[in-house]
Amino acid sequence: MGIEAGQFYGNGRPKDLERSEIEAKLELKVPLERNEAKGRIEVADATLARLENDRLFSRDRITADVKDSHSALAAAHQALEMTRKNVELAGLMEDAENERLKQGATDLLALQIREQASFDARVLEVDAQAELFRAYANYRAAIAADATKNLPSLPAPAAVPVAIPVKR
């Protein structure tokens, strides 16, 4: 805290200055350590908030990946069931056309068309099986089913001899 007084002498005084001035000053000093510590706390709080947001984002992304892969697995399973039904029906049509050929009610071209349809249905079944295996592998990756198999086993700490259960 301080007070200053001043008086201007001479003719060249600027218009915005009075002839006599009195100024009161108050100076506050805050220890730098307090401001620095407060700043560090704010940085730590911001870092914690960012990490929590990252955790929530990762959790939501993983949840979405698991749901997507589960949906793909269910769709692949349903597609395989439909292609198997298609193979069965194409085989029945081929057998019926073969029987009609034996009875003379159809020609060889119609039988070959039924055989081709049966073959195409089997190819689609193989494709559906491959898609089911891909979807199953993606699902297992999404739930990290095989994550612990490739990790080296670590000994338990000497002070706490505990077996850690692993979900399978």
Question: Which residues lie below 8 Å from residue 76, measured CB to CB, with a gap of 6+?
Answer: 128, 131, 132, 134, 135, 136
Would you state the pLDDT for residue 60? 96
Would you state the pLDDT for residue 137? 93
Would you state the pLDDT for residue 162? 43
Per the structure block, which two tokens stand in for 30?
Answer: 């805050």
Would you state the pLDDT for residue 31? 66
Whether the per-residue pLDDT at 168 is higher than 50: the answer is no
Length of the chain: 168
What is the DSSP-derived secondary structure letter of residue 159?
Answer: S
Lowest mean pLDDT among 58-62, 73-77, 117-121, 147-151: 147-151
**Domain segments of the chain as ranges:** 31-142
Please compute, for residue 153, the number of CA atoms within 13 A of its CA located in the half-sphere on the CB side: 7
pLDDT: which is higher, 69 or 31: 69
Would you state the pLDDT for residue 139? 94
Per-residue pLDDT tens digits for 3-49: 776 666 666 666 666 666 777 777 766 666 677 888 889 999 999 99
Q: What angle do CA 80, 116, 131 make, to 5 degrees?
A: 20
Per-residue pLDDT tens digits for 110-157: 999 999 999 999 999 999 999 999 999 999 999 988 777 766 776 655
pTM of the model: 0.62
Query: Of the candidates 94, 96, 100, 85, which has an alpha carbon nearest to the alpha carbon of residue 114?
Result: 94
What is the residue type of 63? T
- Measured between alpha carbons, how far is 84 from 128 in angstroms, rounded to an integer? 9
